[in-house]
Amino acid sequence: MEELTTEQKIVEAARKIFTQKGYAATKTRDIAEEAGINLALLNYYFGSKENLFKQIVTEKFEDLFGLMSPILSNKNITLEEKIQTLVKNYTNLLIENEDLPIFVLNELKNNGSIFDHILQQARTISQPIIDEQLVSNAHTISTPDFIMNIVSLTIFPFIAKPLFIASGLLKEEEFLQFIHNREKLIPEWIFAILKQSQQ
Domain with residue 43: its CATH number is: 1.10.10.60
pLDDT tier, 112 (very low <50, low <70, confident <90, very high otherwise): low
Coil, strand or helix: which one is 139? strand
Does residue 61 register a pLDDT over 90?
Answer: no
Count up the domains in the chain and report the number: 2
Residue 1 has a pLDDT of 53
Residue 35 and residue 91 share a domain: no
Residue 83 and residue 13 share a domain: no
Residue 79 and residue 43 share a domain: no
Q: What is the mean pLDDT of the chain?
A: 86
Does residue 180 register a pLDDT over 80?
Answer: yes
pLDDT tier, 192 (very low <50, low <70, confident <90, very high otherwise): very high
Residue 130 and residue 63 share a domain: yes
Residue 115 and residue 141 share a domain: yes
pLDDT tier, 183 (very low <50, low <70, confident <90, very high otherwise): very high
Residue 130 and residue 84 share a domain: yes
pLDDT tier, 121 (very low <50, low <70, confident <90, very high otherwise): low
The range of the structural domain enclosing residue 42 comes to 6-47
User: Has residue 185 been placed in a domain?
Assistant: yes
Query: What percent of the chain shows pLDDT beyond 90?
Result: 47
Residue 36 and residue 82 share a domain: no
Residue 77 and residue 12 share a domain: no
Does residue 16 register a pLDDT over 70?
Answer: yes
User: Has residue 52 been placed in a domain?
Assistant: no
User: Has residue 1 been placed in a domain?
Assistant: no
Residue 30 has a pLDDT of 93
Residue 174 and residue 147 share a domain: yes
Residue 132 and residue 43 share a domain: no
- More confident call, 4 vs 179: 179
